[in-house]
């Protein structure tokens, strides 16, 4: 039975959606039906459709009492909104339905597992928010919360672990038909840890092990874990809070880490071999993956930064967008990411330049736009060059840039002149693999974002943009001579 609170949200979003014009949204990046959106939730494939649930507050463009929004898609680029799936309408989740995931049950229903937040009185007379894991089951449109919620609470966590920071379950089906999930948590030392649970039916869950421990290396609480096997390795994705940078890695404060390693099946513990940032840009958090029907593992993340969420435009009726869905693979101990191949079906109006020599400042006829797929290959001319800069989303006043210094193999994304409402951290640098000035970049521009895929997806830099979508200029600037190949496609909606 649909609660009064959920009915209210569904009626509101249906009306509020109508005042948002299509051209005011991203063309092929997912945005909320109305109001506020953060983490992707329940990213899944069910009944022939991709499903995107998301952290959602329909009534304002600021974070507030978390609901679950819901949309479906055939191609991960064009989405159809369906009614909100969850509202914080029970005692165990009245402070919010926080992040979680989704899986199909053997009987054909879809199970949602999420974090319920409720304020409870403590033995010392104080009260605090307690987080538990809860489930709801439905048909792809309507979901009913389980009568025995919560299914995981403080009785299911290791002694001394936090019942306040215990959230974001990611579920999957094992080869034997049973279920497993990982949940983020904090042990007694205040660091982060990932807990592993198992279930025969998806309803009754048992603690298995502490899968991975932070030991105060990467921030504090590890949010939004995902754990899976890919290309012969086990991958753990986490989003740490309060993370300090290390060299040019991990400078987003609330950022992302990919751990590559193996699983000790005798102890159900993850054996880490390497780690790196998932995204080297400004805006990327809480990624979640799904297995497509053809076997690809596809990842999507919230294309935003908790430190810069105040830069939104108050007149807009929506806030928050997802990254491009990315096909992921593992090569040489790294996570490679590449735009889903479905994006290539949106290409039109191809423009090609071969062996262009850029010296100083140059524009190329036909190379402009805000909904484009731009491929660049750089190399040194007769002599090495000192700097290459690509400026885009450009008009007389604003632009965003990607800058490459070949001698240091440094790449920087910079949006400080993009027209944001206030000055803050708008730059990120990363080390890239380059030899003799050679670098390959694929730059995807949408109305309000840019994603730069470096060296066939070895690294990605993502950022939201605050420039008028009519700013379509693109300029190339160099110190020294650069040889350049360019392919540009417009991307249709």
Kindly give, in sequence order, each residue whose CB lies less than 8 Å from that of residue 75, ignoring residues fewer than 6 positions away: 342, 345
Going by C-beta distance under 8 Å and a sequence separation of 6 or more, which residues neighbour residue 160?
187, 188
Cα 344 from chain centroid? 21
Q: Which two tokens stand for residue 442?
A: 């694929």
The H or E element spanning position 234 is: strand 233-240
Q: How far apart are CA 55 and CA 107, in angstroms?
A: 27
All residues at 6 or more sequence positions from 155 whose CB lies less than 8 Å from its CB, including other chains: none
For residue 130, give the H/E element and its range: strand 127-138
CA neighbours closer than 13 Å in the CB half-sphere of residue 255 = 25
Q: Is 414 a catalytic residue?
A: no
- Active-site residue, from 39, 93, 283, 414: 39
* 194 close to 211: Cβ distance less than 8 angstroms: yes
Comparing CA positions, the residue from 239, 331, 233, 245 lying closest to residue 273 is 233
Residues 6+ apart with CB under 8 A from 176: none
How far is the C-alpha of 432 from the C-alpha of 409, rounded, in Å? 6
From the list 261, 270, 269, the residue with the least C-alpha distance to 333 is 261
Query: Alpha-carbon distance 38 to 36, whole Å?
Result: 7
Catalytic residue numbers read 39
């Amino acid at each position: 039975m649909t609660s009064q609170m959920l009915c209210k949200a569904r009626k509101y979003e249906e009306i509020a959606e109508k005042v948002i014009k299509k051209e005011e949204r991203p063309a092929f990046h997912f945005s909320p039906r109305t109001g506020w959106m953060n983490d992707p939730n329940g990213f899944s494939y069910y009944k022939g459709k991709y499903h995107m649930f998301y952290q959602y507050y329909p009534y304002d463009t600021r974070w507030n009492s978390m609901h679950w929004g819901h949309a479906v898609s055939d191609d991960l680029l064009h989405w159809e909104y369906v009614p909100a799936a969850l509202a914080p309408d029970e005692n165990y989740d009245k402070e919010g339905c926080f992040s979680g995931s989704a899986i199909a049950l053997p009987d054909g229903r879809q199970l949602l597992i999420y974090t319920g937040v409720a304020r409870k009185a403590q033995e010392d007379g104080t009260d605090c928010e307690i987080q538990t894991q809860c489930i709801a089951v439905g048909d792809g449109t309507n979901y009913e919360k389980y009568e025995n919620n919560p299914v995981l609470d403080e009785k299911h966590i290791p002694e001394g672990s936090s019942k306040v920071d215990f959230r974001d379950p990611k579920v999957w089906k094992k080869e034997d038909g049973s279920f497993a999930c990982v949940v983020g948590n904090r042990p007694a030392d205040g660091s982060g840890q990932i807990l592993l649970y198992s279930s025969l039916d998806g309803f009754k869950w048992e603690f298995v092990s502490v899968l991975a421990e932070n030991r105060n290396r990467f921030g504090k609480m590890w949010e939004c874990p995902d754990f899976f096997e890919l290309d012969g390795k086990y991958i753990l994705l986490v989003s740490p809070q309060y993370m300090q940078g290390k060299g040019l890695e991990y400078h987003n404060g609330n950022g992302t880490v990919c751990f590559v390693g193996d699983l000790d099946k005798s102890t159900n513990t993850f054996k880490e071999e390497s780690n790196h940032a998932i995204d080297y840009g400004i805006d990327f958090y809480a990624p979640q993956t799904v297995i497509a029907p053809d076997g690809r593992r596809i990842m999507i993340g919230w294309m935003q930064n908790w430190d810069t969420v105040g830069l939104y435009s108050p007149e807009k009726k929506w806030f928050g967008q997802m990254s491009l869905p990315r096909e992921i693979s593992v090569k040489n101990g790294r996570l490679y990411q590449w735009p889903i191949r479905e994006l290539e079906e949106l290409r039109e109006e191809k423009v090609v330049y071969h062996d262009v020599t850029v010296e100083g400042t140059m524009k190329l006829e036909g190379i402009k736009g805000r909904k484009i797929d731009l491929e660049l290959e750089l190399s040194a001319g007769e002599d090495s060059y000192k700097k290459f800069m690509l400026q885009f989303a450009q008009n007389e006043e604003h632009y965003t840039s990607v800058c490459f210094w070949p001698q240091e193999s440094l790449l920087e994304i910079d949006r400080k002149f993009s027209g944001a409402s206030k000055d803050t951290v708008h730059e990120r640098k990363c080390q890239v693999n380059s030899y003799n000035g050679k670098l390959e970049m694929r730059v995807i521009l949408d109305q309000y974002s840019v994603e730069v895929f470096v060296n066939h997806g070895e690294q990605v830099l993502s950022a939201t943009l605050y420039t008028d979508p009519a700013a379509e200029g693109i300029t190339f600037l160099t110190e020294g001579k650069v040889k350049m190949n360019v392919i540009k496609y417009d991307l249709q909606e």
